[in-house]
Structure 1
Amino acid sequence: MRRWRKFGSAAWRVVAVWAVSTLTMLVLAGILPDFKLQSAGGDSATRIAVTAALGAGAFGLLSVLVWPLLVRALLLVPALVLGLLAFFLNGSLLLLALRLNPEGRGEVGAETAVVVAAVMSAVASATGGALAVRDDDAYRRRLYRLADRRRRRGGQAGAGAAHPGTVFIQLDGVGHDVLFAAVVRGLMPTLGRWLGEGATEATHRLTPWRTDWSSQTGASQLGILHGSNHDVPAFRWYEKDTGEVMVSNRPSSAVELQRRAVERTGDGGLLTLDGASRGNLFSGGAEQLALVLSVAARRGRENRSRAGYFAYFSDPANAVRTALSFVAEVCREIAESVRARVEHRRPRVGRGGLYPFIRAFATVVERDVVVAAVIGDMLAGRTAVYADLVAYDEVAHHSGPCGKDTDKVLRRLDRSLALLEQVAEHAPRAYRIVVLSDHGQSPGETFRARYGLTLGDLVRAGCGLPVPRRAQRTHSGAEARAAVRAALRRPVEEGADERRPARRAEPVVLASGNLGLVSFPDVPHRMTRQEIDRRHPALLATLANHPGVGFLLVRDAERGGVVLGARGAEVYLDEDPADLGPLADFGPEALEAVRRTDGFPHTADIMVNSWYDPGEGEVLAFEEQIGSHGGLGGAQSHPFLLSPLTLPDPAADGRPLVGAEQIHRVLRDWLGEDAGPEIPVAAPTAHAAEPFIPADESPSGATESTAFAAVDHARQDKTR
């Protein structure tokens, strides 16, 4: 009887989805003039209904049987292009379904077919997902069946299934205080439950940590995944020995940075043992990769991911829902930008051009694909997964770290975590979910908005060089922009401030949030304070005394690194000063952070940190961002680490966690891996700059996508 009840429940869901699809086709035929389900002479209502039922059934069968094959054939095209092709492929399946209709009726224009197919796929997926979620037994059976099939086929869980796996979810740019406030305000109920808010018992602990001086994803994630962020002084910097500008989110730079870290530490990274890296700048040594910027070359068939784009796009409804959500997010951003202008909000930066599309990619496409990939990794029983969700960071750069825009993003991120928690209950092994961030964000208007000139203009004035009458916007680089270009397989663009100067005697001025770097390319070594004064006597004084500058770091020929402030303030780093001078407002850890950067081989001739208001927590970004990070000052230096209570307390000794390299050691200890050189090294080759987004070779992609749709329905955060 139980077996018959299961069969009846499954049959009922199939019939219900078929009926809803038939009704949808009838409604669309009545609304759209180019879509007809009857002959030219007219038919009875019964015959029209039969035609619709047969057409809906044929379309459903083609979607199940043919669609996965089409997606597999097109996996080598960029991810965004695949998402757009989903519409046209879906429309082609509808045209084929109507031609196969034995009633011989039904015709639709090519353009209308795309619309009809998209609507029918979305409605069918929503109906099937709703029925599966309402039937808990069916929902569990579906996940267990998928997990069991993966175990039998790949054996990834194998002997390691007795030990729990670990999923690391990086909420890019979410500071400790922002997360805590969001939990208290009820914006993130899943994390609130984990932390014991309300009547629940805590299952996780929240631990703050402090970044290095370079508080940005390139330095932090490199340190977390590969154990070393040595010689990463900023998001972008000029290297005199090669004459090149390194940019953390440029594929060629990411490849080189990862190579250097592997060479320095002697091991492949945090994820070398059966790991997966999703949506990151660096691989962490994982073999399973998707949307990873530093992937050096196209990977062979044996290394293709089983949880990449195929698992997500094998269901046409996934592509349709994501595309519709993408369009809705673009419209939402345009409306919010217009509202900010009408209400004369301050501070404010430009949000036009391609930004609405970049925001939509970060908050919809990247999130959906990365979360789907992590689900596949968990159901495959992989040992360690590290994934980066960049949505908050991208929105906070343009809307500010706190506000309605970022509140919406935090709610959606919490739902993604709730979804992963549900999947963990059905994975072939127990999973510990660790949530962390790589840095925070500090609010404040831009340097250009307050003073009418850029840092580059100020440097040129101090050097006695001509200054443009009108300040030019400084190129702003964010993680989501790099993810978009990685998905399109295009190199990260170079702004005007990243090109070599027209004359080698002129300075190269680069910006990384509220951290600025000034280098003189015609001098092969790091210039000393005395050399700078001889060449440009007014430059250091001009910078140090400007009200928008907090402090400078330069190198003294006799006494080593020195921090300069307004009115002649000096702090020599090698002399353990009793008075921190201009560093005092930045906290007691600032001295050690600056001292560490001073020892890097590629530290700029002049390092410039912006003004900081400790009362309001505001900084002045040298880029066009009203939520910024990259230097010292405020919340940008204070990310978080949220870990299960079953793991050792990372701050049990009472000492604060400082630096991304220390976070790497904590995570490695949790994974129980040997940090020695015996771990296999998979260093990327430096010549290949184009990342490869791998394909899924699983033959059960359609089953996976159905499970994703059922679980995804519980998120309730899709905009249809």
Structure 2
Amino acid sequence: MAGTLTMLVLAGVLPDFRLQSASGDSATVIGVTAAAGAGAFGLLSALVWPLLVRAFLLVPALVLGLLVFFLNGSLLWLALSLVPYGRGSTDPTMAVVVAAAMSAASSATNAFLAVRDDRAYRRRLARIAVRRQRREGREGRAEPPTTPGTVFLQLDGLGYEVLKEALEAPEGGEPLMPAVAALYGRTHRITRWRTDWSSQTGASQLGILHGSNQDVPAFRWYEKETGEVVVSNRPTSAAELQRRAMERTGDKGLLAQDGASRGNLFTGGARQVALVLSVAARRGKETRSRAGYFAYFSDPANATRTAVSFVAEVVREMVQSTRALLRRERPRVGRGGLYPFIRAFATVVERDVVVAAVLGDMLSCRTAVYADLVGYDEVAHHSGPRGRDTRQVLRRLDRSVQLIAKVAARAPRPYRLVLLSDHGQSFGETFEEAYGLSLEELVRAGSGLQVPRRAGRTASGSEARAAARAALRRPEECGQEVPRKPDRDRGPVVLASGNLGLISFPDVPGRLTRERIQELRPALLPTLTEHQGIGFVLVRSARHGPVVLGAGGCERRLLTGEVVGPRDPLAPFGPGAAQAVLRTAQFPHAPDIMVNSAFDPATGAVHAFEEQVGSHGGLGGEQSHAFLLSPLELSPPVEPGEELVGAQAVHRVLRRWLTESAEPRPVPGPAPLATPGPAKNQPLSPAP
């Protein structure tokens, strides 16, 4: 019906689209022609479209999105040619427009009817679940399990403090994220957890999914034995990090038992994967990371809606960037080039595909699903953690959470929804913007080397950028490798991970000691420690082991806790900083020198060594404070008064919850954790 009405309206307003003969027809004949054309189009879409999409999976996924309109238009042109008496006709260009409008109208109508008729919605979900089980050869499961499944939904980069603010209702209004606030107010508790020193997705997600992020000092680092740079969001590097973690733990991962991994860097041991970077460079039935695109784009209405939203998001970013430029907002980084398209991919394409995959997993009764939504993190890097642009992204993420929660309530088996983040973000102008030179330039100056007019910059670390490259079937980004036979005159290798810097000397094997660095580059350590934008420097002393150096000759010897000088260089970074730095200092691939930018406790500002106004990767501010929003029916993550520290500890908590779900039993929670959510204008309770 929706397709017929849409076709009649378009025939009345579009000059090159008609549903009657040249001599004219009665209203009845025109109506029958519209119904026949719409029916033929719907039948062709149902039968032919999935085959076309499967065939076009040989091309990059984003190219498939662009082909959606042309494929849909071709089907409509063929459908009109099947209408009797030749009354329906259109030119190829107009067929594209009409097909897109009909797909959008059909999608909107189906969604409206599903919401209005709960029984119809339940039947539709049941039919989809049966079809998925048949495709996967799971007919043997006669009845869905009665034990609850678990969906772990990661809101990438959303810090604990920002989430608290998003759950509070302003005067006379509703929270920024009402669906998440409703969960917290009725069924869930919120817990803050502290990340490792490397507060970024590579380290956090590897620890959460595989139980070990040992020897992951940063987002990217240089390994002297191979002469290469390991980059967490590069598919080959992600695969190697996953292999190392599995070898270290002797376990496949959190999702090994009937699990699914969606939109992540790592598989977590799941056999069902979609948009997972650690398998993006592989081919074969066991590693179909791109299968999520087929499952989503096999519905032409989905493809049309996402394509239109993608274009709208690109335009929105251009408008918002221009407005920020005209208002001279500071701090600011460049938002031109490919960034509008990367943002649209993260906030629209990847979000839609991942959410659809999660819904399908629940309909197929998967035991554990872990999915990552990266849109907020990508936008916050360029607009700040609390910018107007990021608030809009949070509203849309909230709607995704609401949709997943609604489907979970109607799925064939019960589901528990756990929301979490991998890190937060800290705000501040970049190191180069604040001080007029990059970290690489500062290191070269302190090493007595010539400083070029413009030293090379480290590309910004972005999960969305890497996922987009994988979708284009270009998963490996060039330009990250260091020559296997470094030139001594080239100088040290300087890399950045948010406000964390890593310095390695490729021409000297092994990790250099403080004493050896002072011998080779006597001015380097004083240049770094005395710079206003540097918070502290980590080196290894031959006599005292790992040592943190600060301005004015201050230092902290991590093995003994001894502080030399008038103050502790780690004091501004809060409790737990020394423990986090010591752990990283003992990694085999820790660089010769690690540098953390300065941190202002009064404002929470840091200085990223990358082109980011919202950054993460080191210590300082909200980047180290992630959250865990868990159902009250599960045991508390930690005992009252204790702190959840490190991604590996989060992995153990999630493992425990999966065990509890496999053998359901009443799990009483402490009274303080079961308090209702915040009332309007009331602050959230402090984290346990």
Matched, 1:61 2:46: no
What is the percentage of aligned positions where both structures have the same residue? Answer: 70
1:467 to 451, 468, 471: 451
What residue in structure 1 maps to residue 606 of structure 2? 619
Summarize the Cα distance change of 1:538–1:352 in structure 2 as closer, same or farther, 3 Å threshold. Answer: same
Residue number among 61, 69, 85 corresponding to 2:67 in the alignment: 85
Across the two proteins, how many residue pairs are aligned to each other? 652
Distance 2:142 2:79 in 1: 43
RCO comparison, higher one (Cα < 8 Å, 6+) = 1
Would you say 1:549 and 2:531 are equivalent positions?
no
Is 1:193 the equivalent of 2:175?
A: no
The secondary structure found in structure 1 opposite 2:378 is helix
1:247 to 206, 231, 255: 231
Q: Which residue of 1 aligns with 2:669?
A: none
Query: For 1:469 and 1:151, how far apart are their aligned partners in 2?
Result: 60
Residue 131 (structure 1) aligns with = 113
CA contact (8 A) 1:394 1:478 kept: yes
Structure 1 counterpart of 2:628: 641
Deviations 1:199-236 (A, max 9, x none): xxx31110000010000000000000001001100000
Matches within 5 A, 1:224-235: 224-235=208-219
Q: 1:523 to 1:301 in 2, by over 3 A?
A: closer
Secondary structure, counterpart of 2:547 in structure 1:
strand
Q: Please tell me whether residue 107 in structure 1 is matched to residue 73 in structure 2.
A: no
Any residues of structure 2 matched to 1:41-440 within 5 Å, and which?
A: 41-43=23-25, 46-148=28-130, 150=132, 154-155=138-139, 161-185=145-169, 186-196=175-185, 202-295=186-279, 298=282, 300-301=284-285, 308-440=292-424
- Of the structure 1 ranges 308-317 and 88-97, higher mean CA displacement relative to structure 2 is found in 308-317
Deviations 1:161-215 (A, max 9, x none): 121111100000000011111011401111111111xxxxx31110000010000
Identify if the C-alpha distance between structure 1 residues 280 and 496 changes in structure 2 by more than 3 Å, giving closer, same or farther: closer
Decide which moves more: 391-400 or 290-299. 290-299
Judged with a 3 Å threshold, the aligned counterparts in structure 2 of structure 1 residues 305 and 237 are, in CA distance, closer, same or farther, namely closer
Distance 1:139 1:604 in 2: 56
1:297 Cα shift? 6.5
Aligned to 1:484: 468
Displacement, 1:37? 3.2
1:546 shift after superposition: 0.5
Residue number in structure 1 paired with 2:638: 651
The question of whether the paired residues in 1 share the 8 Å contact of 2:634 and 2:660 is answered with no
Contact 2:601/2:621 (CA < 8 Å) preserved in 1?
A: yes
Shift in CA distance, 297/488, structure 1 to aligned 2, threshold 3 Å: closer
Aligned twin of 1:694: none
Per the TM alignment, residue 151 of structure 1 is displaced from its structure 2 partner at its CA by: 5.3
Report deviation, 1:409: 1.0
Q: Is the 8 A contact 2:229 2:481 kept in 1?
A: no
* 1:148 CA drift (Å): 4.6
The counterpart of 1:512, out of the listed 492, 497, 514, is 497
Distance 2:645 2:218 in 1: 17
Task: Report the AA paired with residue 195 of structure 1.
Answer: Y
Q: How far has the Cα of 1:76 moved from its partner?
A: 3.8
Question: Which stretch of structure 1 is more off in the superposition, 351-360 or 145-154?
Answer: 145-154
8 A contact 2:556–2:563 mirrored in 1? no
The amino acid across from 1:57 in the alignment is G
- Show the counterpart of 2:665: none
Q: Within 2, Cα distance between the matches of 1:566 and 1:302? A: 53
Shift of 1:115: 1.5
Change (3 A) 1:653 1:592: same
CA contact (8 A) 2:129 2:360 kept: no
TM (norm. structure 2) is 0.91
User: Are 2:580 and 1:593 aligned?
Assistant: yes
Change (3 A) 1:145 1:491: closer
Secondary structure at the counterpart of residue 335 of structure 2: coil
The residue identity in structure 2 corresponding to 1:507 is P
Contact 2:227 2:482 in 1 (8 A): no
SS of alignment partner, residue 122 of structure 1 = helix
CA contact (8 A) 2:57 2:64 kept: yes
CA contact (8 A) 1:462 1:536 kept: yes
1:12-52: CA deviation from partner (whole Å, max 9, x where unpaired) = xxxx32xxx23322333344343333444555555444433
| Residues in 2 aligned to 1:588 and 1:405: alpha-carbon distance in whole angstroms | 33
2:570 to 549, 569, 583: 583
CA distance in structure 2 between the partners assigned to 1:672 and 1:195 by the alignment? 23
**Residue type at the aligned position of 1:336:** Q
Partner SS, residue 410 of structure 2: coil
Change (3 A) 1:296 1:482: closer
Aligned letter for 2:176?
L
- For 1:486-510, what per-residue CA distance to the aligned partner results, in whole angstroms no more than 9, with x for missing partners? 1122124245796779723511000
Q: Is the partner of 1:195 in helix, strand or coil? A: helix
Contact 2:145–2:413 (8 Å) recurs in 1 = yes
| CA–CA separation in structure 1 for the residues paired with 2:226 and 2:290 | 39
Aligned partner of 1:560 in structure 2 is: 545
Contact 1:447-1:455 at 8 Å conserved across structures: yes
* C-alpha contact 1:174 1:441 (8 A) present in aligned 2: yes
Q: Distance in 2 between matches of 1:540 and 1:158?
A: 67
How far apart, CA to CA, are the structure 2 residues paired with 1:492 and 1:626?
26
Matched, 1:37 2:22: no
SS at match of 2:570: helix
In the aligned structure 1, how far is the partner of 2:612 from the partner of 2:71? 39
Which blocks of at least 5 consecutive residues in structure 1 are unaligned?
Answer: 1-15, 197-201, 675-720
The alignment partner of 2:569 has SS state of helix
Secondary structure, in 3 states, of the residue corresponding to 2:488? coil
Structure 2 residues not aligned, in runs of 5+: 170-174, 662-688
Provide the rounded CA distance (Å) in 2 between the counterparts of 1:298 and 1:638.
Answer: 34
What is the CA RMSD across the aligned residues, in angstroms?
2.3
Amino acid in the other structure paired with 1:87: F
1:608 aligns with 2:606: no
Shift of 1:312: 1.8
- Using structure 1 for the length normalisation, give the TM-score: 0.87
Q: Could you say what secondary structure the match of 1:154 adopts?
A: coil
What is the CA deviation profile of residues 461-486 of structure 1, one whole-angstrom value per residue up to 9, with x for unaligned ones? 00111112346554212111011111
Aligned to 1:672: 659
- Alignment check: 8 A CA contact 1:171 1:436 kept: yes
Q: What residue identity is the alignment partner of 1:622? A: F
Deviations 1:557-588 (A, max 9, x none): 11111111111111111112367611000011
Cα-to-partner distance string for 1:511-553 (whole Å, 9 max, x where unaligned): 0000000100001111111111111111100011000100000
* Counterpart-to-counterpart distance in 2, 1:518 and 1:431: 46
1:319-365 per-residue CA deviation (whole Å, 9 max, x = no partner) reads 00000000000000000000000000000111000000000010000
